[in-house]
Amino acid sequence: MIKHITCHKDKGQISLRECLICASKGDNKCHYTSSMIRAIIEGIKAKKGYQTTMLTGCLRKVYFEKTQELYPEIDTLYSLIKNTSFREHLKYNELDFIHEIALKKKIQLFSTTNEVQTPLAKVTLEGNIAEVNFRTGLIRNYIPCETIPFNQFPLAHHALHLNICLYLLQEDTRWLYGWDPQIFEIVYIDMSRLKRCPVRVFDYIPLDIYIKDSLLLLHNCLTQNASLPLINKKDLWQCESCITREICEKKYIKEIKEGRYDEEKTY
């Protein structure tokens, strides 16, 4: 849970409200404006519940974000508002066939004992797609970044996220009544250029299993204090800038020292 931040100037640990008041007065020593702080606060509020981005990386990070009091520096939260400018641009675009779409779907989770499935809980998974063009059949997400990837194809977790959003989008009535999207892409943008990367659409059944298994694991950790999963080797790069790294390393120092990781292949 993020209710406070660590001011990287001279105020130590302060609440988000205190940070907003400081920025509103205009006498803060950092470069953050009140509108930027408000966007960060709204971004934190929006992450309540289950979000599509939670299923694309380390579930331990999600667990600690939801259960531990965190005091991140404001710079680490800035990523929450990076997409704001692109969304605002699309909102004011006069073309009425281009939309940002908010997605939501109730998913039934089951517990399995001796190969018998028992209904456990219904959870709501939410996300959004930055640009959907109903005329051309284009579905696109924007990724602001400092360095544009050199690869022709998008990074694996970005492709997975878009596919999870497509999974939710299939509940949209426009899809059900004949709309047929044909172009799927992620656009990486830095300060001076952009790069379009085509996205492969995953098979529905394996994706459905992956989403439900991940939600079940996370739900059991949050509601039944189940054991957290091992970190998958493919996710280790996320540790470098993770706001829960210190908590995770303290709790699982033995596992980390022994080099025990999850080798299971996922998306």
Rg (CA), the chain: 20
175 is written with which tokens? 């899809």
- Tokens at 147, concatenated: 């360095």
Q: Is 220 exposed, middle or buried (0-12, 13-18, 19+ CB in 10 A)?
A: middle
Amino acid letter, residue 32: Y
Sign, CA dihedral 85-86-91-92, equals positive
According to the model, what pLDDT value does residue 47 have?
67
Geometric angle at alpha carbon 191, from 195 and 8, rounded to 5°: 125
Residue 9 confidence (pLDDT) above 80 = no
Cβ atoms of residues 199 and 184 within 8 Å? yes
pLDDT-based confidence at residue 234 (cuts at 50, 70, 90): confident
Q: Which residue has the higher pLDDT, 115 or 239?
A: 239
| 22 vs 4: CA distance, rounded Å | 14
State residue 52's pLDDT score: 93
Q: Does residue 199 register a pLDDT over 90? A: yes
Q: Both ends of the chain: CA-CA distance in Å?
A: 27
Is 190 or 199 the better-scoring residue by pLDDT? 199
Residue pair 130/170 in contact (Cβ under 8 Å)? The answer is no
Residue 124 contacts residue 106 (beta carbons within 8 Å): yes
Task: Please give the CATH architecture assigned to the domain spanning 85-208.
Answer: Alpha-Beta Complex (3.90)
- Looking from the CA of 58 toward its CB, the CA atoms found within 13 Å total 23
Q: For 144-178, what is each residue's pLDDT tens digit?
A: 887 888 788 898 899 999 999 999 987 665 565 66
Spell out the domain ranges in the chain.
85-208
Structure confidence at residue 175 (pLDDT): 61
In the predicted structure, residue 39 carries a pLDDT above the cut 80: no
Residue 69 clears pLDDT 70, i.e. is over it: yes
Q: Judge contact between 195 and 187, C-beta under 8 A.
A: yes
Number of H helices, E strands in the chain: 10, 8
Strand partners, 70: 2
Please say whether the beta carbons of 153 and 142 come within 8 A: no
Taking only the tens place, the pLDDT of each residue in 200-221 is: 999 999 999 999 999 998 998 8
Residue 94: pLDDT band by 50, 70, 90 thresholds?
very low
The per-residue b/e assignment along 2-41, b for 16 or more CB within 10 angstroms, e otherwise, is bebbebeeeeeebebeebbebbeeeebebebebebbebbb
Over residues 80-88, the mean pLDDT reads 56
User: What integer pLDDT is reported at residue 207 of this predicted model?
Assistant: 94
Q: Note whether 220 and 228 are within 8 A (CB).
A: no
